[in-house]
Amino acid sequence: MVSRVIPVDAFDLVIFGGTGDLARRKILPGLFRRYCAGQMPSNSRIVGAARSKLDGDGYRAFVTEAIHEFGGGRSCEDGTLESFLKQLDYVSIDARGEAGWDELADKIKDSKLVRAYYFSVGPSLFGDLAERLHLHGLADEDSRIVVEKPFGRDLETAKALNASLAEHFDENQIYRIDHYLGKETVQNLMAVRFGNMLFEPLWNAQYVDHIQITVAETVGVGGRGEYYDKSGAMRDMVQNHLMQLLCLIAMEPPAKFDPSAVRDEKLKVIRALDPVEPHQIVRGQYVTHDDSPSYRKAVNDPRSTTESFVALKVGISNWRWAGIPFYLRTGKMLAKRASEITVVFKQRNHSIFEEDELEHRNILSIRLQPDEGITLGVTIKEPGPGGMRLIDVPLDMSFAEALGEDGGDPPDAYERLIMDVIRGNQTLFMRGDEVEAAWAWTDPIIDGWTQRGEVPKPYDAGSDGPGDAEQMLARDGRSWRPISS
């Protein structure tokens, strides 16, 4: 099956931080793939804007290398890269000074195309960029800005960032990226919930036993040690990515699939989250037993108390979910790279089959990575003449298999989200009040650790995390889905 490519209007996209790591690995190769798919009209322009002193040719050489290295050219024909490069330009600019701004204004000011500014720079520059765009007459009401994570490190800093952007841009011009929301399966989660009759009637405390959300990485902190140590798994992953997944799983059906309706419902979930008690959280730090460095060595601080793993039991106080635990877990250096949402339904209340001694539960599992897909565990009769014995088997919908080659290689999250920016669709971006509400819930948890002087539990690299995380679920008579399965 070939996926439909919906055309977008021609655009000018300025990438501040256009020579950075994110631009090189994700944004530029992603744009090239959209170009190959016919989604970048020939009068569109991409302007890299960064501190490096490069000219247009130098930038095109940089982009060529990025595309070769990060696979942007996979589905493109010969000669297409050259024509893509013709639509690229570069300005050497200083976000905090005057250098380069007149040149940028000359290049784009009179253009009537859709205009978007991607702030692919550290958040400390967001306010400066907004201010300079305004001063140079580039912050007109039709333009859009895309901002990267981290959006603050607590409620106070998030509010300050929101305020600095709000000075020159309205909320409907601001696109706060959480690339998890751009994943095919995350959107499929909404399609499964709200596009089928089958699930929504069961999607509540009466039929669901509990829900697990796991985002497991096999890599350590790598070269980001210093940055990561100031952040930790709670700030880096839970406050944004896991929180967004939780919202989509738990929210009420919006009246329409439009930005305000969807984001209103997500916000209601965050506001209904219970405070988390200390016994509902396990923090961990990885320890290695080979040549790779343990967490504390990797961040160069033998006393670091930052967590590289966190598991939480979260409650949502509303009519639909009261009493149903949501177990969230994320960490580095775990057994396998796997992101999965699992909805475990309740045990049926009566069995008519005499020979059936086992517990059978329907489990809906939504894999975000790797191998995006959805599996529903159902109970059937064991084949053969052995009587009425029941077994659980998966009904598997792997997108790669079901949708053929094209469906198996869906656009990267960044590609999809950038195209949404051009279309002016904010549904899959976080609104300012959502981000602030998420920090308002997260802050007391982190403050509690500091006040109590809590030290994370060590866990072995390559494991499923600290044993305490297993025990937290065992106390409830439940267990985590093994990460390595």
Residues forming the active site: 241
Q: Give CA–CA dist 111/13, Å, rounded.
A: 11
**Closest CA relative to residue 407, chosen from 233, 116, 222, 184:** 184
475 touches ligand NAD by CB under 6 A? no
Query: CB-wise, 100 or 325, nearer to ligand NAD?
Result: 100
**Min CB(324)–ligand NAD separation in Å:** 32
240 touches ligand NAD by CB under 6 A? no
**Min CB(149)–ligand NAD separation in Å:** 5
**Token pair belonging to 258:** 């439009």
Q: How many CA atoms lie within 13 A of 443 on its CB side?
A: 13
Maximum Cα–Cα distance across the chain: 82
- Can you state the angle between helices 413-423 and 28-36, rounded to 10 degrees? 70
Residue 254 near residue 271, CB atoms below 8 Å: no
Stretch that binds ligand NAD, among 76-84, 122-130, 242-250, 342-350 (CB under 6 A): 122-130
Handedness of CA 228, 234, 239, 245 (dihedral sign): positive
122 touches ligand NAD by CB under 6 A? yes
Cα distances (angstroms) measured from residue 285 to each of 276, 309, 311, 335 = 20, 6, 12, 14
**Closest CA relative to residue 250, chosen from 341, 371, 331:** 341
Q: Give CA–CA dist 325/314, Å, rounded.
A: 6
**Min CB(17)–ligand NAD separation in Å:** 3
The binder of ligand NAD chosen from 14, 22, 216, 238 (CB under 6 A)? 22
181 touches ligand NAD by CB under 6 A? no
**Min CB(250)–ligand NAD separation in Å:** 25
**Min CB(327)–ligand NAD separation in Å:** 25
Q: Which amino acid is at 96?
A: R
Q: Give CA–CA dist 216/165, Å, rounded.
A: 33
Handedness of CA 250, 251, 252, 253 (dihedral sign): negative
The binder of ligand NAD chosen from 14, 36, 47, 121 (CB under 6 A)? 121
Q: What number of residues does the chain have?
A: 485
Apex 464 CA angle, 460 and 467, nearest 5: 75
Q: Give CA–CA dist 163/177, Å, rounded.
A: 17
**Min CB(113)–ligand NAD separation in Å:** 23
Stretch that binds ligand NAD, among 14-22, 256-264, 287-295, 297-305 (CB under 6 A): 14-22
Stretch that binds ligand NAD, among 21-29, 291-299, 360-368, 427-435 (CB under 6 A): 21-29
19 touches ligand NAD by CB under 6 A? yes
Query: CB-wise, 70 or 257, nearer to ligand NAD?
Result: 70
Q: Sketch the per residue contact string, 136 through 175, with ligand NAD: x for CB under 6 A, - otherwise.
A: ------------xxx-------------------------
Residues 453 to 472: which contact ligand NAD by CB under 6 A? none
Stretch that binds ligand NAD, among 33-41, 49-57, 106-114, 134-142 (CB under 6 A): 49-57
Residues 307 to 336: which contact ligand NAD by CB under 6 A? none
Provide the phi-psi class of 217: left if phi over 0, else alpha when psi is between -120 and 50, else beta.
beta
Query: CB-wise, 123 or 232, nearer to ligand NAD?
Result: 123
Size of the site for ligand NAD (CB under 6 A): 22
**Closest CA relative to residue 415, chosen from 29, 4, 21:** 29
51 touches ligand NAD by CB under 6 A? yes
Residues 93 to 112: which contact ligand NAD by CB under 6 A? 93-96
Q: Give CA–CA dist 35/45, Å, rounded.
A: 11
Q: Which residues pair with 144 in a beta bridge?
A: 116
85 touches ligand NAD by CB under 6 A? no
Residue 153 near residue 137, CB atoms below 8 Å: no
**Min CB(337)–ligand NAD separation in Å:** 15
Cα distances (angstroms) measured from residue 161 to each of 9, 129, 432, 467 = 30, 12, 9, 38
Query: CB-wise, 219 or 358, nearer to ligand NAD?
Result: 219
Q: What is the DSSP string of 331-374?
A: ESSBSS-EEEEEEEEPPPS----TT--S----EEEEEEESS-EE
Q: Sketch the per residue contact string, 249 through 288, with ligand NAD: x for CB under 6 A, - otherwise.
A: ----------------------------------------
The binder of ligand NAD chosen from 52, 318, 379, 425 (CB under 6 A)? 52
20 touches ligand NAD by CB under 6 A? yes
The binder of ligand NAD chosen from 30, 123, 411, 456 (CB under 6 A)? 123
**Min CB(30)–ligand NAD separation in Å:** 12
Residue nearest to ligand NAD (CB): 20
Q: Sketch the per residue contact string, 380 through 409, with ligand NAD: x for CB under 6 A, - otherwise.
A: ------------------------------
120 touches ligand NAD by CB under 6 A? yes
Residues making contact with ligand NAD (CB under 6 A): 17-23, 50-52, 93-96, 120-123, 125, 148-150
